[in-house]
Amino acid sequence: MNKLINISEASSIAIHSLSLIAKLDQSINATQIANLTGFSKNHLSKILQLLVKHDYLKSSRGPKGGFVLIKDPKEISLLEIYELIEGAHSDNYCFDHSPVCPFQDCIYGDIIQDISMRFIDAFKKRTIADIKLKQNISYQSILEKLNR
């Protein structure tokens, strides 16, 4: 199944992981995050490395190691994470092929600009702190899972 919007598994992992880590006041390791979210541990690890390198997370190695958040989740927008992973994006859908495109305006009409704008707006406003755990999933129940 093709996706209309380009959101790679990589950015999905980044946003999920940050949200989860933000809810905890102790460190959590890659295996635990993978178990809780269902992403592959390998891929997840790679993304977490990136988030460490960009100063969203602090990592510690060895037994009892793991990751903690070192930024205020209210200050982390989905957009900045999305762009960190996917790179900056453009809403120019002319493929730069034709110096003399014979068509008036963009053949797609205004829709591309319209929805790009909406997406960016929404992802700029929404922060990691806005993402909530299910109500029946308590901090307690997560900790229990971690220790299995």
Partner DNA sequence: ACAAAAAAAGTATTAGAGTACTTAATAGTA
Partner DNA sequence: TACTATTAAGTACTCTAATACTTTTTTTGT
Restricting to residues 90-109, name those near a copy of itself by CB under 8 A: 90-93, 95, 97-105, 107-109
The least CB distance from residue 57 to DNA, in Å, is 8
Residues 6+ apart with CB under 8 A from 133: 23, 142
Restricting to residues 69-108, name those near DNA by CB under 7 A: 86
Residue 71 interacting with a copy of itself (CB under 8 A): no
Residue 31 interacting with DNA (CB under 7 A): yes
Restricting to residues 9-28, name those near a copy of itself by CB under 8 A: 9, 12, 15-16, 19-20
Distance of CA 69 to the CA centre of its chain: 14
> From the list 26, 60, 138, 141, which residue makes contact with DNA (rule: CB under 7 A)?
60
Residue 6 interacting with a copy of itself (CB under 8 A): yes
Burial of 132 (0-12, 13-18, 19+ CB in 10 A): exposed
Map tokens 């969203």 to a residue: 56
Residue 138 interacting with DNA (CB under 7 A): no
Question: Measuring CA to CA, how many Å separate 120 from each of 45, 55, 78, 88, 95?
Answer: 27, 23, 9, 11, 21
Burial of 127 (0-12, 13-18, 19+ CB in 10 A): buried
Distance of CA 127 to the CA centre of its chain: 10
The residues that touch a copy of itself, with contacts defined as CB under 8 A, are: 1-7, 9, 12, 15-16, 19-20, 36-40, 78, 86-93, 95, 97-105, 107-109, 111-112, 114-116, 118-120, 122-123, 126, 130-135, 137, 142
